[in-house]
Amino acid sequence: MPSRARDRFNQSLRDLEQAEDSMRAGRHEWACFAAQQAAEKAVKALHLHMGQEAWGHIVARLLRELPETIPVPDRLVEQGRVLDNFYIPARYPNSHPQGAPFEHYGPLQSEEAIRYASEIIEFVRVQMA
């Protein structure tokens, strides 16, 4: 069976575009979630590229579980930890003490999320080249 790593990576790029579109539209909660998804799919693409399966949605853990032959900068793991905070709370009202998710996210969060996802995607791009 052929590797689906490139398909997963290409979808990560599309998810990053969605994050940017959502940010421009003022849907910052969706921008944050889409950025998390973009980073997650990119790192899973790298796992597939290296011939291993990756499970779960925690970007920081997925980065740490890459083979030792791929040195992952600590900074990227920390960026993954930030993105991991957008996986559930950006979508579900009961993730916050009160208020809908859109009330808890703004340009500061979405810009940071997109920047971090972009850096993780670029790291993956270089590793898969």
* DSSP letter for each residue of 70-99: S---HHHHHHHHHHHTTSSTTT-GGGSSSS
CATH number of 5-128: 1.20.120.330
pLDDT in tens, the chain (129 residues): 678 999 999 999 999 999 999 999 999 999 999 999 999 999 999 999 999 989 999 999 999 999 999 999 999 999 999 999 999 999 999 999 999 999 999 999 999 999 999 999 999 999 999
How do the domains of the chain map onto residue ranges?
5-128
3 state SS of 100? coil
Cβ distance 44 to 54 under 8 Å?
yes
Task: Give, for 5, the enclosing helix (H) or strand (E).
Answer: helix 5-24
Model pLDDT, residue 1: 64
Neighbours of 20 (CB within 10 A): 19
pLDDT of residue 48: 96
Please tell me the pTM assigned to this model.
0.96
8 Å CB contact between 72 and 35: no
CB-based contact 4:53 (threshold 8 Å): no
pLDDT score for 102: 96
Amino acid identity, residue 17?
E
Amino acid letter for position 31: A
